[in-house]
Structure 1
């Protein structure tokens, strides 16, 4: 399997070397590593030029990770694509185990892995309890697939028209839904093969308001799917408001939690 790795880069100076090293140390070699300098200007260009073995694409203006990934996807020459963020870490056997999984389970067009979140103090949590064969009815509930864990056929991304650049927070969740809706299958390797950094260094998910806005955009866009499944709409909205509340403070936190609890009263499974 020929694999290209895509890394959006915007102000990721502090951790990029560690991220790139984790890819270089993979026990399965990649065909190319494409780094998209997403509007970081000359400073980012100069910084990235210090690293060997990467293809750099410089964008004049910051367009966000979805647009950056889409630009790189269209330039990829390999059949398979893996994504990594500029501050996350792959375990050495990540790709090897995914390639083995895909070779043994040819029904899948993509697979993702378990995740360990961490910060400057150490590991926070590990997530390996996910569906082996993700179904659309499961995918609309919560976001199971995080891009740095995903290995996918380029043709599947082309078929669903890439990441939606209009979504600013839930674009990975939306991509998963559209992949499954088109009939592609996503498998799961139940080992924590990536480490996702959780720090207050501009990560959009640290802002409860942005999380809620992204989730509501996702819900509106895919409403035709949510209404197919009994209770799916209220379950998603409940989780959206409760998650946003957990990322908020003060009065806003109380309001979001209250709305979530009111929504739960309309769903017997949440009472």
Structure 2
């Protein structure tokens, strides 16, 4: 299946020292049942062979699969973290929609097909799917029956405050200059963007089926998301900003902090046993 002129998807991958995982990520895009329009690999000043691996992959793909999406490599002038890299790719994107994939994640082959069917069918601004599973289950997952019977559900800001169900590698958005990832945050910057979108009352649909996974599974080397304490501080900062800007009520602010603190304590206690 291929995209048409009204549903072209630009895939954006921030890359930093990901030579060991980027091939699997790119393979999962190339093997989609719904072809991406382009793949924008934004290298954030990697110190390993990331650039060489992407360059070789792009050249081989162009020679062997002329029908495959083009792979564009862009190198940042200085290391700035995921947000500036994603925003650089977003500004370059020529597709009608943008999809985000982390360099150590992979997609189920029907990920783009399933989400774009929802995006085009409902006219929603954005969509995501259930949380990540390990690489092997993603490859072996039998999703046909689940996707056929699936009823996407709308996300709300209220539900997101108490249960963060949106992961970056699951998200597809309409391509618009109205939104970008905040570049003044290193943790929970994606959560802040999702909250902004939902607080603007944009329609955001959730597919409750896992369609992405981590290269190497949960035992893989952790990235920024492993810094649990800093992630919690980042989330609390987002809550304060939402309340300060009048996007949530005092009650939502207080209960969101309470729920977040409780979940944080539970996670810390579980890590001790």
**How high is the TM-score relative to the length of structure 1?**
0.79
Give the deviation of 1:116 after TM superposition.
3.1
Say which is worse superposed, 1-10 or 47-56, in terms of deviation: 47-56
Give the deviation of 1:40 after TM superposition.
0.7
- Structure 2 CA distance for aligned equivalents of residues 192 and 200 of structure 1: 18
- Structure 1 CA distance for aligned equivalents of residues 208 and 248 of structure 2: 30
RMSD: 2.8
- Structure 1 CA distance for aligned equivalents of residues 221 and 265 of structure 2: 20
Question: Residues 17-56 of structure 1 correspond to what in structure 2 (within 5 A)?
Answer: 17-41=23-47, 43-52=49-58, 53-56=70-73
Give the deviation of 1:198 after TM superposition.
3.2
- Structure 2 CA distance for aligned equivalents of residues 210 and 176 of structure 1: 19
- Structure 1 CA distance for aligned equivalents of residues 44 and 9 of structure 2: 22
Question: Residues 73-222 of structure 1 correspond to what in structure 2 (within 5 A)?
Answer: 73-106=90-123, 108-118=124-134, 132-155=153-176, 158-160=177-179, 162-196=180-214, 197-199=217-219, 201-222=221-242
Question: Could you tell me which residue of structure 1 aligns to residue 22 of structure 2?
Answer: 16
Question: Could you tell me which residue of structure 2 aligns to residue 258 of structure 1?
Answer: none
- Structure 2 CA distance for aligned equivalents of residues 89 and 244 of structure 1: 27
User: After superposition, what is the alpha-carbon deviation per residue over 1:52-101, rounded to whole angstroms, capped at 9, x for unaligned?
Assistant: 14101111322111110001100111110001001111111111111111
User: After superposition, what is the alpha-carbon deviation per residue over 1:121-179, rounded to whole angstroms, capped at 9, x for unaligned?
Assistant: x78xx9x9998111122222232211111111012xx213x011112211111111111
* Alignment gaps of 5+ in structure 2: 1-6, 59-69
- Partner of 1:11, secondary structure, is coil
* Alignment gaps of 5+ in structure 1: 255-271
CA 1:134/1:229 → structure 2, altered by over 3 Å: closer, same or farther? Answer: farther
- Partner of 1:159, secondary structure, is coil
Return structure 1 stretches of 4+ with deviation > 6 angstroms: 128-131
CA 1:21/1:227 → structure 2, altered by over 3 Å: closer, same or farther? Answer: closer
CA 1:82/1:227 → structure 2, altered by over 3 Å: closer, same or farther? Answer: closer
Q: Of the candidates 3, 8, 13, which is equivalent to residue 7 of structure 1?
A: 13
CA 1:114/1:130 → structure 2, altered by over 3 Å: closer, same or farther? Answer: farther
**How high is the TM-score relative to the length of structure 2?**
0.79
Give the deviation of 1:248 after TM superposition.
4.7
- Structure 2 CA distance for aligned equivalents of residues 178 and 226 of structure 1: 8
CA 1:119/1:68 → structure 2, altered by over 3 Å: closer, same or farther? Answer: same
CA contact (8 A) 1:206 1:247 kept: no
CA 1:227/1:85 → structure 2, altered by over 3 Å: closer, same or farther? Answer: closer
Give the deviation of 1:249 after TM superposition.
7.7
Equivalenced residues, count: 243
CA 1:114/1:45 → structure 2, altered by over 3 Å: closer, same or farther? Answer: same
CA contact (8 A) 2:17 2:49 kept: no
- Structure 2 CA distance for aligned equivalents of residues 38 and 103 of structure 1: 32
